[in-house]
Amino acid sequence: MIPRASSDAFAERLTYYRRRVDDKLAAALGAGRDVPERLLESMRYSVLGGGKRVRPLLVYASGELAGASEDALDAVAAAIELIHAYSLVHDDLPAMDNDDLRRGRPTTHKKFDDATAILAGDGLQALAFEILATDPALTNTPQSQVAIISWLARASGPAGMVGGQALDMEAEGRRLDERGLEQIHRRKTGELIRAAIMMPAELGSFTAAQRANLDTFARDIGLVFQIRDDLLEVEQDTATLGKNAGSDASNQKSTYPSTLGLEGARKRAAETQKRAVDALQTLGEKSVSLLWLSDFILKRTS
């Protein structure tokens, strides 16, 4: 068994990896791209204004396991964060969750306007795929490049994140059982987190069994993230979260605490994380960074 303490070294690399992806994002959203000024400003506002960068960190941790180059991982990490940022911009819109606070600042449609926010999200989504399709660190391995693009397309599309959002909106005002709730969140949140872990795997050499175990971890840790997110909506206040606490309740959405109770939701998160970690343990010492992040996801306070 891999001891928890052996993964602490990854904590020391958090700043380094966050700086790498932030530099990559800043370059991708830099001047000189022939983008209308207000549109570029809104895209930069949506991406460069903070965030924990959990999904990029999962990319780097999985990349350590795969033995991938950091330059290639920079491209994957930036792309996944751009998709995540686009999803937040659109989720916050009045026609969706109608939130006015994100990361402690006005949401993009509040800072600019609804139409600009829609276009900013559209632009971020397209830019993510442009990076994966053109980055020199990926183009020299075209088979892996195509597989990586395919992972992100599926995770962010109608079978993944977009489909999950559609189901989430359909369920507003209805009481869901745990199975229905899980179906939504494995798509809406889980598929993008799964992709963050599985995209770097395309840059390594894994047996079929190793890949299956990594995928089990990826699927389950994505669900843990969402259960913990639901719990934080109840446990923390708006100032701590940087977004409106209690927005799920005001939108009449079913959550893990409302469906299972607080203790039931905490228990389900711990059980799911243990199942994820058990699968990860089969991959050996190089999986310690993913192990550290799985603990962080379960115990995070914002």
Q: Tell me how far apart the alpha carbons of residues 104 and 96 are, in angstroms, rounded to a whole number.
A: 19
The pLDDT score that the predictor gives to residue 242 is 64
Q: What is the pLDDT of residue 51?
A: 87
pLDDT confidence bin for 251, thresholds 50/70/90: low
pLDDT value of position 248: 65
275-to-195, 231, 233 alpha-carbon distances in Å? 19, 20, 24
pLDDT tens profile 191-207: 999 999 999 999 999 99
| Between 69 and 238, residue with greater pLDDT | 69
Q: What is the set of domains in the chain, with CATH numbers?
A: 8-299 (1.10.600.10)
Q: Band the pLDDT of 157: cuts 50, 70, 90.
A: very high
- Extract long-range pairs of 138-142: CB within 8 Å, 24+ residues apart: 138/72, 138/75, 138/76, 141/72, 141/203
pTM: 0.94
pLDDT tens-digit series, residues 172-187: 888 899 999 999 999 9
pLDDT on residue 239: 63
Contact 287, 2 (CB under 8 A): yes
Percent of the chain with pLDDT over 70: 93
Residue 240 clears pLDDT 60, i.e. is over it: yes
Q: Cβ contacts of residue 111 below 8 Å, gap of 6+?
A: 42, 45, 105
What average pLDDT does this structure show over 212-222? 97
The answer to whether the CB of 259 falls within 8 A of the CB of 178 is yes
Place of tokens 């989720």: 91
If we measure between CA atoms, which residue out of 155, 173, 172 comes closest to residue 163? 155
User: For 40-58, what is the mean pLDDT?
Assistant: 95
Could you read off the pLDDT of 256-269 as tens digits, one per residue? 999 999 999 999 99
pLDDT of amino acid 1 = 43
3-state secondary structure of 135: coil
pLDDT on residue 233: 87
Sequence-ordered list of residues with C-beta below 8 angstroms from that of 214, at least 6 positions apart, any chain:
62, 65, 197, 198, 201, 206, 279, 280, 283
